[in-house]
Structure formats: structure tokens, C-alpha cells
Amino acid sequence: MAIPRSFFHMFRRTLSLEHCLYALVLGVFFLLITSPLIGLGVDLLYAALKGSLDLSTPLLLSSRRLELLAASIGLATAVALAGIVTGVLFVSLLWRVSREILVFILLALLALAAIPPYIHALTWSSLFGSLTDFLPGLPTTGWGISFWVEFMALLPLAILLTWIAFASVDHHLVEVGRVFGSDMDAFLHILLPLSAPALGAAFGLLFLICCSDYSIPSLFGADVYALDIFAQFSASGSSAVASLYALPLVLVTVLVVIASRSGIRTLAQTPDWLSVRFGTAPRFPRFFVGLQVIACILILVQILVLFSGLVFTTGNLTTFIHSVSVAQGELTYSVLIAAGVILISLPLALAAAYELKQPGLRGAVAWTLVLLPLAIPASLTGIGMILFWNAPGPSMIYPGLLMPVLVSVARFAPIAAILLFVQLRFIEPLLFDAAAVFSPGLFETWVQIRLPLHAPGFFVAAGILAVLTLGELGATLVVAPPGHGTLTMRIYNYLHYGAAGEVAGLCLMITILTLIAGACTIAVLYLLYRGPGRTVETGGKPE
Amino acid sequence: MNKTRTIQVLVVIIVLTVILIAAMVMLPTDQKKTVVVYTSVDQVYSEPVFRDFENRTGITVLAVYDVEATKTTGLVNRLIAERNRPQADVFWSGEFGQTLLLKNESILAAYSSPSAADLPRQFRDAGDYWTGFGGRARVFIVNTDKLSPDQYPHSVNDMIDSRYPGSTIGIAYPMFGTTATHAAALYSYLGTEEARNYFSNISQRQVRVVDGNSVVRDLVADGQLSFGLTDTDDACGAVETGKHVVIIVPDQKPGEIGTLVIPNTVALIAGAPHPVEAKTFIDYVLDRKTEDSLVSSGWIQIPSRDVLTKTSCMNITGIKTMDISYQDVYNGIPATQKDLIEIFIR
């Protein structure tokens, strides 16, 4: 049978260097992020075929588990909503702030977000404990304090995400709105609706993080579904059983993230994220200014409580130096892991971001594959990684130094892909076409045109990746190579020992490291891309 | 952007990649003689033991530690997941339940250590799949500012006594860690029905169920709770740092059940990559001198043999222990945990 000529044309087009590279990078991305799922899936299948799996118990939701699920959803919804509302109020204040101050605020928030949530919980618990002497009715257990601490722990991340959402809106549209109506009208009817899809995505991410966390609620005696999964995992010792128990929570989180996904896909196009907003300062009604002040106070209280708690608990410089010096190995390894995750994730995530942009079934499949790993509990991801990488084929990787990097790539590269996808929608595609026509070669096109255009997205994604990787515990602990640990593992070890001074010292160190890393990245970006017409320097401001 | 800038970007990317690779390579990984030890013993206690072993034998210990926050799902599940291609040589646990689970899952290999010759018989598995030594006891930690000596609790039944409001008492989640083992021991001793009523009562009284034994200790030491059930190592930590607390060993009166003593257990992993070094390490850990040093560092309060160092934070002379078999306790753990999940996680 004769093969049509058009098939060969299509085949040759597909085989171009650029397409091959793209397919390869994309393949590696999807392999890395789905490797835990593949491992868990094969284990589940094996257990089912062996007949050692009782499917009825985990899949049938008893009233107890339904209540736990409802409680988890309720807590996560409340925390995510409170985070977004506070974020919206606070970020609306940054309307006229200069880029230098904006960068400083964002760096400070990034540093706060890098502190493990459990430390936030202990600081607040200690404060509430000491306040009960003066305020006897203050709750020290239950849902109220669980909500408050979870909200406070996620507040820095919520503000960062809200800032991304607001920065996604073309501010020219808002300025036009301000000409024809009040600032409040422009805020309510232009800025909020245009940023709503990205705010929805931020809600989804916060919901997901909160839903999979049991450490804070269990510290305050509030039981959530994630704790039940761990209890079943602990009782059975079977990842297959734990996977089945996790299924309802996975389903809920997938639904929420899919809903957020449709929001992200409808984002409007806009020039860039770090641009300076020009125009006159907005004038909001008094009630709204009052709400903004409350949001500011909340953030200041959080910063004050956390830092004063850490500084007071550390006690003196000697304790700080001692805690850092004994954890030097962990410190170095943690920084290397974070750097490795950023270096591996960003190019892979960029390819995935292009794939997420695809219409129809292809895009839907890509979205499903990107979102699914986000819904898997951390320790199950770790076990899935072992089941996948400890197989005879890829066994040279496990249990090497790269495993904690790969596990964080598996958990967080999808988030980087979504962030880069959001940014990709802001870039004018004609610029890429022009580059393809006028640039002398593929490499020059990438370095001179594409990288500078992607730089703000890379910066934001790198920051979020570093924060999430530095705080990761559940999955890293399961795959950490013998003889090596991370800073978070050391912190949790100290916590059990009751060495509060050392724990606080190490948390301060994480904060300082994040600030330094952020400042260095900004400095490098500035040095590399300064010059006429560069986005990072001019911020889109006409020269 | 000109060509110079292209080269600058390229150089930055190359430098970053080279630094990362160099740093990863420079981290020590390939010592000639190594032993991989997975341990749930706190790093602050086990690390000095590893360093001393390295100094004496020249064998490098590559340790993987567990942390309380992962609810014991960490190392044991990792060992089970690695069963087809084991990476660990030795499992050293701070209790026995998880070790017996691993034996049941065929993860362990038999090894009879010469260092275990002077250990009491109950500390050795019949098939030599594990060996136990010095341990910790389950005790009450009591805040002396909150309770006077005549109010101190003396039995686990005091946790359900109406004299003490539930909200002033603390216990760690009984599905995890040593509290799970203690719960299984109570199920084994009291029988399922009585034990279930006991724990249901604890739950209904709204006794503060917290994230771990160290949290119980901290809440009592801070005065947020009057007393709580914890392990001796945690309680001793608070005593030694000068907190206003006292340790009470429960159920020591005639006719009472005694307290649970939980030994350390050490076991060889089946198919261990470094079996010779693993046996050397097991011999070292089971040595009387190592037990002595662990008493001295505060990890062990109830030694299994006569050792020179005496526990200073509490009087351990004549402690009455629960008369139970480790195997019976282990056999009951799955059903107990299932029961307790239903009672406590809701």
C-alpha cells in the first residue's frame, strides 16, 4: 500500500531538531512528575492481582470518614478564602509602591513562606498558651486555633499568589476604568474580575496545601482526613491500602484544581509582572481603607510574632552560631537540593507550559497529568518514588544524592509549569515569530529573546520552588540518601528533643538564606538584562 | 542584546551547573567500608554512638533517621518498599512493634550476636531475627505548679478519673509510636472490651490528644496541662532542663499492672548490602559499654543489664513492669490501631 507523501512531510517536520528536543524535554518532565504515581499504581495492581487487597473498606466511606473529609474541606476552604481576602486587601495597597519597595516586600514574604508551617504553629501555640493567663477564654485547642495558625502559616504564600494574580491584569485597563468611574468601581468591576481566574488558581493551590496537611490541626487536637490516611498507612504498612484511603481526598483536590485550571486558562494577556504601576494614587472609601489597615495589621502581627518568637527563642548569637555550625552538612545539602530542583524544573516546566497552552484533548491530557501529582500526599509520593526508582532499570539513581531533588521535582515542578504557563500567556507571540525571522540561530533566539521574556516567570517560579523545597519533609525523609539529611529533617529532629533554641536558630538561617538567594537572583537578572528596552529594568514603563 | 551578553548568560548557566555538580560530587558518598543504618532513635542520641563506632572500627555509618512528625510511616514503610532491593543493613528501633512487623514482612534476617549473650532471654527473638536491649518506660510527667504531691496521679486509670478534668491531661495519638505500643499492651493485658472502654472514655472526656510524646512533655512543662503520659526520655529531658515537673511511674502498688518498658531493638536486614559491617555494628550496639553510654546520654533509662551509669532523673529501683509478651502485643497491634483510629480520629 502506498504511503501518502503528506505523511512523510509531517514526519520530517516532526523530526526537526527543535521538535525532537521539545518532545524529549516534555517526556522527561512527565516521566519525573508521574513516576511516584506509576510506582504506586504498579504496587496497587500487584496487590490487587495477588488478592491481598480488601477494596471494600478503603473505598466505602463510613460516616466517620465522611465527617473527616467534610472537616478537611471546610478548614481548607476557610483558610484559602481568608488568605485570598487578606491578600487582595494587602496587595491593593501596593498599587503605587516603587519597584524597589515591592521587591523588598516580596522577598520578605518569600522568606516568611520558607519557614516550615510547624514552626509557625509552635510559635503561635506558645503565644496563645502564655496569653491564656490574661485571657482565660482564649482557645488553645480545636478548630478555631487550627484555622488561625494554618491561615497565618499560609498568609505569606497567599499574598505572593495574590500579587501574581493582580500583576496578571493589564493595568492600562484599570487606568482607563479610573477615568470613567471611581477608583472603587475600577477595583471592583475591572481589577477584581480580571484577576479572578488567577485568584481562583491561588485559592486552589492554598486549598491543596491545607487539605494535605495534618501536622497543624493535629497539634491542636483537630482531626482531618490527611491524618486518617497516615494512621491507615501506619497501621497497615501498605502503600496500596494508603493509596486507596487517600483516593477521596485526591478526588476532591483534583476537582478543586481542575476548577482552578479553567480559571488560569482564561487569563487576560498583559505585558509583565514586575512593572511599575503609573497613574495617580487610588482613593478608596473609608470602610475599604479600614479593611486594608486590618489586613496590614494581620501581616505585621504575623511577621512580629514569628520573628520575635524566633529571635527570643534563639536567645543569643552563640546559640545561633552553634545551631548553624552543627547543621552545616544539612545546610549545604538543602541549598544544593533547592538549586538542583530549580535547575532541573525550570527548563522542563517551560516545555510543559507550552504543552498546557495546547487546545483540545492534547491540552486537557497535559493538564490532567500536571495536576494529578499535586493531589498525592507527600509520604505516598516518597514511597511511590522508591517503588519506581528502586526497580532494576533505574536503580542507579536510588538511593543517590539526586533522589531528594527528584522527589521535589515530582512534587513541585507542576506548580512551576503552571506559573510559567500563566506568564507565557502574557508574552506577545509575535515577538517569538519576529525572533525566529531575524535571529541568526536557535541558540541566539533563546538567549537573546526568549530567556529575557521568560525571566520574570523564571524568577517567580524559582522563588516558589526554593520555598517549597526548603520546607519539604514528608517525601524527602522517605528517599533521603543514607548519611545525608536536610535542614528541615534536622529541625524536626531537634523539635522532638525539645531544643527550641537550635530550632529557632535554624529557622532564622532558612529565612536569611532565602533573602540572600532572592537578592542574588534579582542582582543577576539586573546585571544580565539591564539596557534599553529590557523588561526587568524598565518594567514596561515607556522610556 | 549583543554577542557578549549571550556569552555572559551562557557562562552564568555553565558556572551554576558546574557548581551544583561539583558540590554533589564532593559530598562524601563512597567510603570503602560502610554500614547503612535506618534508625528511629533520635539523632541527638544515636549520632554519638555512630561516631564512636566509626572511630573504633573505621567503618563509616550512613544513617537514615526518622522523625516524630511522620508518624512512624517513614522508615518502616521505606524498608518495606525497598524489600526487592534492600539498601539498609541494620534497623535500630527505639521500640519493638515496628521491628516485629518487619520480621512478619520477611524484611529481617536472623543473626545471633555474641554481645547478646548476657541479655535476659525475653530480649532475644526465638529465631534471632531481632535483639532487644535497654529501654524506656511509660511514665506520667506532672507539673508541680499545677498539682500538689497528694494530687499526683498514680495509675493509668487516673486518666479517666473525674478528679482530673480531661482538658488538663495529655496523651499522644495512641495510633502512633510508643503510645501505640502501650495501647496494644493495654489491649493485650486488659482484653479488647475493657481496653476499648478505657480509650473511649479517654476520648469522651476530651483528654488532650496531641501530636507526639514530646508535645505532651512540652505542654506539661509549659503548664498548659497538669500531667500527661509520655516516655522516660522525654520526661527526663524536661527534668534535666529544670522545668517544674516530676516523673511518676504508674501502677506500682500491689495488685496494679505495672508500667510498660519498651526496649530498643536491633536487627539485620535480609539481603543487606554490607552484611559483615552490619554484624560488626550490631555487636557494637548490643555491647554493655554502648548500653552504658546510652544511659549516660539519656536515651535509655531502664538498662537491661548492670551498667556503671545510673539514671539520674528518676529512681528506677524495683520498677514493676507489665507482665506481657512482646509477641502478644505485636499480634494485637493491627486490630488495636484499627479500633483506636475509629475512636480517636473523628
Residue A166 belongs to domain with CATH number: 1.10.3720.10
Backbone angles phi, psi at A188, to 5 degrees: -75, -35
| pLDDT (0 to 100) of residue A409 | 95
Is A493 within the bounds of a domain?
A: yes
* A6 located within any domain: no
Q: Beta B34-39 vs B227-231: how paired, if at all?
A: unpaired
Closest chain A residue to B207 measured between Cα atoms?
A: A221
Q: How confident is the model at residue A529 (pLDDT cuts 50, 70, 90)?
A: low
pLDDT for the residue A317: 84
pLDDT at B117 over 50: yes
Residue A4 lies in a domain: no
Partner-chain contact B224 A140, CB within 8 Å: yes
Least-confidence region, from A113-117, A197-201, B277-281: A113-117
For residue A65, give the chain B residue with the closest CA.
B346
Spell A382-392 as b/e; 16+ CB within 10 A means b: bbbbbbbbbee
Reported as a pLDDT band with limits 50, 70 and 90, residue B179 is: very high
Of all residues in chain A, the percent with pLDDT exceeding 70 is 86
CB pairs under 8 A between A and B: 200
> DSSP characters for A97-142?
--HHHHHHHHHHHHHHHTS-HHHHHHHHHHHHHHHTTT-TT---SS
Eight-class DSSP state of A445: I
Of the pLDDT bands very low, low, confident and very high (cuts 50, 70, 90), residue A266 is low
CB-CB contact of B101 with B330 (8 Å): yes
Domains in chain B (CATH in brackets) are 34-134+262-310 (3.40.190.10), 136-260+333-344 (3.40.190.10)
Q: Which of residues 76-115 of A touch B (CB under 8 A)?
A: none
**Residue B230 confidence (pLDDT):** 96
CA A252, A122, A234, B76 dihedral sign is: positive
pLDDT of residue A10 exceeding 70, the answer is no
Q: Which set of grid coordinates corresponds to residue B68?
A: 516524630
User: Is residue A96 in a domain?
Assistant: yes
Closest to A372 measured CA to CA, from A129, A42, A36? A36
Contact A448 B62 (CB under 8 A): no
Q: Which of B43, B73, B212 sits opposite A379 (nearest CB)?
A: B73
Across the range B71-80, mean pLDDT stands at 78
Q: What is the band of A525 on the pLDDT scale with cuts at 50, 70, 90?
A: low
Q: Rounded to a whole number, what is the largest CA-CA distance in chain A? A: 89
Q: Kindly report the nearest CA distance between residue B82 and chain A, in angstroms.
A: 7
Residue A240 lies in a domain: yes
Who has greater pLDDT, A318 or A445? A318
Q: Which residue of A has its CA nearest to B89?
A: A482
| Residues within 8 A of B (CB atoms), A 471-500 only | 473-474, 477-485, 489-490, 492-499
Element (H, E) at B208: strand B208-210
Question: What does the pLDDT read at residue A541?
Answer: 40
Contact A453, A535 (CB under 8 A): yes
What does the pLDDT average to over A292-312? 88
Taking alpha carbons only, the member of B238, B258, B259 closest to residue B313 is B238
pLDDT of A533 above 50:
no
- Lookup result for grid cell 493582580: A166
Query: DSSP character for A16?
Result: S
| β-pair partners for B262 | B136
Q: Measured at the alpha carbon of residue B156, what is the angle toward residues B151 and B158, in degrees to the nearest 5?
A: 40
Name the pTM for this structure: 0.81
> Angle at the Cα of B99 (from B96 to B100), degrees rounded to 5?
85
Which chain B residues are within 8 Å of A141, Cβ to Cβ? 167, 208
Give chain A's domain count.
1
Q: How is residue A67 written as a grid cell? A: 465527617
Fill in the amino acid letter for A490: R
pLDDT in tens, A146-166: 999 999 999 988 998 898 888
Q: Which domain holds residue A523?
A: 31-44+62-538
pLDDT of residue B1: 45
Q: Do A215 and B211 touch (CB under 8 A)?
A: yes
Closest CA to B330 of B101, B110, B109: B101
Q: Are A415 and A465 in contact, with CB atoms under 8 Å apart?
A: yes
Return the ∠ at Cα A494 (arms to A123 and A315), rounded to 5°: 55
> Measured between CB atoms, does A262 come within 8 Å of chain B?
no
Residue of A nearest to B332 (CA): A235
Residues of B in contact with A462 (CB under 8 A): none
Identity of the residue numbered A529: Y
The count of other CB atoms within 10 Å of the CB of residue B15 is 10
- Tell me: pLDDT of A84 over 90: yes
Residue A12's pLDDT is what? 62
The closest CB to that of B346, out of A223, A235, A336, belongs to A223
Residue A132 is predicted with a pLDDT of 77
pLDDT at residue A277 greater than cutoff 80: no
Let me know if residue A425 belongs to a domain: yes
A119–B contact, CB cutoff 8 A: no
User: Which residue does chain A place closest to B224, by CA atoms?
Assistant: A129
A499 lies in some domain: yes
Predicted local confidence at residue B7, as pLDDT: 63
Q: Report whether pLDDT(B71) > 70.
A: no
Cell numbers 519576529 correspond to: A434
Residue A404 lies in a domain: yes
Across the interface, whether the CB atoms of B71 and A524 are under 8 A apart is answered no
Q: Which residues, listed in sequence order, are joined to residue B37 by a DSSP beta bridge?
A: B63, B90
**Which residue type is seen at B216?**
V
Percentage with pLDDT > 70 across chain B = 90
Which pLDDT does position A430 carry in this prediction? 73
The residue among A453, A139, A237 whose CA lies nearest residue B224 is A139
Measured between CB atoms, does A333 come within 8 Å of chain B? yes
Distance separating alpha carbons of residues A16 and A27, to the nearest angstrom: 16
Query: How many CB atoms within 10 Å of residue A2?
Result: 4
pLDDT digits (tens, 9 = 90+) for A384-436: 998 898 877 666 778 888 899 999 999 999 989 988 887 777 677 777 777 77
> Is residue A85 classed as helix, strand or coil in its secondary structure?
helix
Cβ-proximal residues to B240 (8 Å cutoff; 6+ apart), any chain: B298, B312, B313
CA dist A58 and A239 (Å) reads 12
When mean pLDDT is compared across A53-62, A331-340, B297-306, B318-327, the lowest value belongs to: A53-62
